[in-house]
Amino acid sequence: MKTLKIYFILLCTVTTITSCTSTSSLYDHYTYTETIEIKLKTLSLMDKSDDAFSSHENEVIALKNELEKMLIYEKGKGKNEITQKMWEVLNNDNKLVKSYLSLWEQKGSLNTAFIQEAKPQIEEAFNILIQYEEKKDTTNENAVTNFISNL
């Protein structure tokens, strides 16, 4: 009986230590749903980027604010490096979403061929992040890391 008690205490200690050393947080429903919502808003806005930027400037500002809000939220969570890095990429003025929006602003409008070429790349970034948030497993963590390193 004494051996069983020692075994149980040892098991609890190892479990506690292991959970404390993890580099990723648990599933976060808010992050998951907001990521999906921002993905849909981004892709919808991209579909409108063949129009004059000035016609959609308020939508662009709102989207940039949502991207920034998610980055701030993710920075505030513990054990969240992977998700935070992806939101940093999505918020980077020289990559993906913000780069696309800046180009639209500079050009005034974008042609359909460019939109169709850029849209799958941005959609992939959101999809990888969504899949990681769903499962928080090594395979999806590697997918996020590889995506970021290949940019």
Q: Report DSSP state, residue 56.
A: G
Which has the closest alpha carbon to 136: 80, 88, 89, 91?
80
Q: How far is CA 101 from the centre of its chain?
A: 17
Q: From first to last of the 151 residues of the chain, give the pLDDT tens digit.
A: 566 565 555 444 544 444 444 445 678 999 999 999 999 999 999 999 999 999 999 999 999 999 999 999 999 998 889 999 999 999 999 999 999 999 999 999 999 999 999 999 999 999 999 999 998 889 999 999 999 999 8
Q: What is the pTM of this model?
A: 0.81
- The Cα–Cα gap between 74 and 79 comes to 10
Which has the closest alpha carbon to 73: 35, 22, 17?
35
